[in-house]
A and B are shown apart, each in its own frame.
Chain A
Amino acid sequence: QVHLVESGGGAVQPGGSLRLSCSASGFSFSNYAMHWVRLSPGRGLEWLSVIWHDSTNEYYADSVRGRFTISRDNSKNTLYLQMNSLRVDDTAMYYCAKADAAAGTVTIEYWGQGTVVTVSS
């Protein structure tokens, strides 16, 4: 059974940084691409980033490119999202999600329960 647990969320001031983690279990983590997606009340779901199973490719939404960095440690079954230069409109629930294949895929198959990030002064 796929299990994704996000952590690292919290409150931060504008301009600050946070690092989200996602611990994966119940599947062979190193064989699947992984995504980050966020949900905010006013904007709904917003895709943020994807990383292939072997970290050879990463893609980002325009809204976070240059500020957020996705990475993974297959030896620890963990996905990360480094978030810098945070803005008020980055406030959201952040979800880690599993793709349905290792690479070249766009289907998000399973989602974690999310971690809340609040950016406010």
Chain B
Amino acid sequence: QSALTQPASVSGSPGQSITISCTGSNSNIGAYPLVSWYQKHPGEAPKLILFEGSRRPSGVSDRFSGSKSGNTASLTISGLQTDDEADYYCCSYAGSSAFLIFGGGTKLIVL
């Protein structure tokens, strides 16, 4: 299976909201409610921010939310903060053969 499709970059100003899309297919996002999102700052390990589409791990701000429509999952970050500037990756279960596939990543720029 091919990688999930994400925009290369999105930008927003502090306080604004942005949405990052993640488009897959009927073999992954469209078939399973098992999308997770990861935040990665330069030089740091990735961090889980959403799992099973819209669930937040303990300690993750409620400014991060997730949704899904058909073959596309979305991550919305409200009340943008400068520390939100990072790379964001979606990941979906893709069945027992491919198991997990990631998106290409989206660089969030906070202006």
Binding site for B on A (CB under 8 A): 35, 37, 43-47, 50, 59-62, 95, 100, 106-114
Q: Mark B15-49, 1 if CB is under 8 A from A, else 0.
A: 00000000000000000001010100000111110
Total number of A-B contacts with CB less than 8 angstroms? 59
Q: Mark B73-111, 1 if CB is under 8 A from A, else 0.
A: 000000000000000010101001011111111000000
Residues of B within 8 A of A114 (CB): 45
Output the nearest chain A residue to B93 by Cβ-Cβ distance. Answer: A106
Q: Number of B residues whose C-beta is below 8 Å from A?
A: 24
- Picked from B48, B96, B98, B101, the residue with its CB within 8 Å of the CB of A108 is B48
Residues of A within 8 A of B89 (CB): 44-45
Shortest Cβ distance from B23 into chain A, in angstroms? 15
Q: How far is B90's CA from A111's CA once the two chains are assembled, in angstroms?
A: 15
Please classify the interface of chain A as helix (H, G, I), strand (E, B), loop, or mixed, using the class held by over half of its residues: strand
Q: How far is B44's CA from A108's CA once the two chains are assembled, in angstroms?
A: 16
Q: How far is B98's CA from A112's CA once the two chains are assembled, in angstroms?
A: 23
- Picked from B36, B46, B98, B104, the residue with its CB within 8 Å of the CB of A107 is B36
Q: How far is B60's CA from A120's CA once the two chains are assembled, in angstroms?
A: 40
Residues of B within 8 A of A43 (CB): 3, 104
Known: A45-B89, A47-B91. A62 touches B98 (CB 8 A): yes
